[in-house]
Amino acid sequence: MSGTRGAIRGVLAAALAGVMAVALSGCFVIPLVDGRSPFDDPFGSSKSDIEKAIPPIQAAIDESGAADGGGWRVVAEKGSDNCEGPCQLRVDVSIEPADAADLDATPGYAVSEDLLRAVLVAVIPVAEQNHVDVSIVAGYGELSPGGSTVSADLSGAVEALFASRPRGEGYSTRFGEGEDGEVEAFTRTKTGVLQEMGLG
């Protein structure tokens, strides 16, 4: 009798090990098939999710007129981290100097609080609708064609908007000395992020 029980336990253990192996291999295979790191969240955004989300996010930026006439360019593009391959795919919205001559009077190419607010208000609802995360990041521009590049400085604007609430369930921020500044919104899984930021 004890031998039968032992055999049953052995069969169950082997079956459980097989199920676990299939589940774990699936977790690694799903991102690999999409050209992502095997260590990425298998249920995270795919490359096609990001590619589909970029046009409506860029359209929202353009329609908002956020960067009109201010010497800035605001561009939606693919963003990711590196976990032995692309992971944590998102849309990066880059605020970059477009016309250095228009920005000569702007110390350190600092992005204004108003511009950052307008970009956030334009892109976050669209990112929520498309279920992708979005980050507002500092971009680069050329001082002149073929000349040296300069980076926008988002840090002061991020601090002005978020000093009293630097993070929440739906977002996080980076600002301060040595930082270019960034706002990351977790709009793949969260809604009402603008309201949580105090901007809605």
Q: Cα angle at 122 between 109 and 130, to 5 degrees?
A: 125
Model confidence pLDDT, tens digit, residues 39-85: 456 667 788 899 999 999 999 999 999 988 778 999 999 998 756 56
Is there a domain that residue 40 lies in? no
Question: Is residue 77 domain-shared with residue 141, that is, in the same domain?
Answer: yes
Question: Is residue 19 domain-shared with residue 117, that is, in the same domain?
Answer: no
Domain assignment of residue 19, given as a range: 1-33
pTM over 0.85: no
Residue 198: partners with Cβ closer than 8 Å, 6 or more residues away: 165
Question: Is residue 87 domain-shared with residue 14, that is, in the same domain?
Answer: no
Question: Is residue 25 domain-shared with residue 71, that is, in the same domain?
Answer: no
Q: How far apart are alpha carbons 7 and 100 in whole angstroms?
A: 76
Is there a domain that residue 39 lies in? no
Question: Is residue 150 domain-shared with residue 94, that is, in the same domain?
Answer: yes
Question: Is residue 169 domain-shared with residue 84, that is, in the same domain?
Answer: yes
